[in-house]
Amino acid sequence: MKIVEAKVVVTSPGRNFVTLKLTTDDGLTGLGDATLNGRELAVVSYLEDHVAPLLTGLDPHRIEDTWQYLYRGAYWRRGPVTMAAVAAVDTALWDIKAKAAGMPLYQLLGGASRDRIRAYGHANGATVPELMDSVRARLEEGYQAVRIQTGIPGLKAVYGVHAGVAHQQQRPLVEDWDTEAYLRHLPTVFEAVREEFGPELPLLHDAHHRLTPTQAARLGRDLEPYRPFWLEDCTPAENQEAFRQVRAATTTPLAVGEVFNSVHDYQTLITERLIDYVRSAVTHFGGITPLKKLFDFAALYQIRTATHGPEDISPVGLAAALHLDLAVHNFGIQEYSGHTTLTGEVFRHAYTFADGHLHPGEQPGLGVELDEALAARHPYEQAYLPVNRLQDGSLHDW
Ligand code: GCO
Ligand code: MG
């Protein structure tokens, strides 16, 4: 079997998605997600100009070798653009291999280790009463674990509450931030939600890289009485050693890794067991091949998986995660915030969500089909993620 075509499809059924479609000489197709939110076209160019010409003529069954060829062969390693492009190729090759085998992909990854995949949903509210309504809405949808994010008194726009992406704008939206106000407010939010919903509901929270290690240590301690399921991205993780201070100060479980694109980003965090969950997505980590290796490495240290699954991971990227989730023993939880109905029509998928749990379905391959005609009716729209400024106007981590 040989790859005869590598095509990149960009579509915006509500938000932008970049998809690689590989076709083989015997008519099999494979899909891979290459969506890098706010920097989509850089990955399109990487794929179209530099990778697609290398793929035609290759044997699609040689997944590991193709991964090494694109990773080592580029000389310039790692980075989100490179690794999103490599991820799309890797995912599409696994899709083809599983279709050729006539099996859902999880069967090739070792088969199912569980019957279903626990997901967490997003509850957001500008105020605490609005947050309560949002938690109730998630519970009514069936979720059995919820991430809670709220506005902060005195701030106008905060991550997780304010609409995330600016479409058709020349510049990113500007949000505002005050760390002390946040550190004062968040424990009171957890207290109120625990009081309303009881001690059992798993509650998660995303600090979105905004704290110093000292502040993160304090927040982890302040949240302990409310038993959070985890505190996510409490401090920027470029400096892995910074987590030693947070870890020593608190037993609140820590989750990190959605912006990582290589196992090397995790080396200290995993070998010193400074975190509890690895959060990388297939889409940004170079594909299924390296993510499976990361998960197996993490398993040696009793660290669990929690693959990134926001709206900006396409149904193709999400499906890939679900096959891994079902297969690996050290699965922890899967983020799932769902997609618009139109996105579900552009990317028809076999995966299902019921009673707070996902399942990848039993279709051969990933179980996702791209409706290219519908995709073409929703072309790319320029979009940026917001930026974040402190009260004095200086730029802060978003
Ligand atoms: C999450 C993430 C997202 C990111 C987004 C950026 O935990 O789901 O933090 O909300 O901000 O994926 O593109
Ligand atoms: Mg996050």
Q: Please indicate, yes or no, whether residues 302 and 239 belong to a single structural domain of this protein.
A: yes
Query: What percent of the chain has a predicted confidence (pLDDT) above 70?
Result: 98
Which whole number is the average pLDDT over 262-280? 98
Write the pLDDT tens digit of every residue in 138-171. Answer: 999 999 999 999 999 999 888 888 665 656 578 9
Q: Please indicate, yes or no, whether residues 232 and 125 belong to a single structural domain of this protein.
A: yes
What is the token pair recorded at 82? 């490179």
Mean pLDDT of the chain: 97
What is the structure's pLDDT at 359? Answer: 99
Which whole number is the average pLDDT over 91-99? 99
Q: Please indicate, yes or no, whether residues 296 and 262 belong to a single structural domain of this protein.
A: yes
What is the token pair recorded at 178? 């005050």
Pairing of strands 203-206, 230-232: parallel
Q: Is there a domain that residue 181 lies in?
A: yes
Residue 329 among the catalytic residues: no
Q: Note down the domain range covering 273.
A: 108-363
Write the pLDDT tens digit of every residue in 318-356. Answer: 999 999 999 999 999 999 999 999 999 999 999 999 999
The number of folded domains in the chain is 2
Q: Please indicate, yes or no, whether residues 100 and 173 belong to a single structural domain of this protein.
A: no
Q: Is there a domain that residue 159 lies in?
A: yes
The single residue of 71, 159, 182, 351 carrying the catalytic annotation is: 159
Sign of the dihedral defined by the CA atoms of residues 216, 296, 100, 50, in that order: positive
Q: Is there a domain that residue 357 lies in?
A: yes
Sign of the dihedral defined by the CA atoms of residues 100, 101, 104, 109, in that order: negative
Q: Please indicate, yes or no, whether residues 130 and 272 belong to a single structural domain of this protein.
A: yes
Which whole number is the average pLDDT over 183-204? 98
Residue 159 among the catalytic residues: yes
Helix (H) or strand (E) holding 217: helix 213-223
Domain boundary among 68, 85, 104: 104
Q: Please indicate, yes or no, whether residues 52 and 184 belong to a single structural domain of this protein.
A: no
The CA 310 to ligand 1 mean position distance, Å, reads: 6
Neighbours of 177 (CB within 10 A): 21
Look at ligand 1, atom 4, and give the residue with the nearest C-alpha.
310
Q: Is there a domain that residue 148 lies in?
A: yes
Which whole number is the average pLDDT over 177-201? 98
Residue type, 371: D
What is the structure's pLDDT at 167? Answer: 60
Instruction: Please write down the HEC assignment for all residues of 27-54.
Output: CCEEEEECCCCCCHHHHHHHHHHHHHHH
Write the pLDDT tens digit of every residue in 198-222. Answer: 999 999 999 999 999 999 999 999 9
Q: Which residues line ligand 1 (CB under 6 A)?
A: 37, 206, 208, 258, 308, 310, 312, 335, 385
Give the whole-angstrom CA distance, residue 122 versus residue 262: 26
Q: Is there a domain that residue 265 lies in?
A: yes
The single residue of 122, 185, 205, 208 carrying the catalytic annotation is: 208
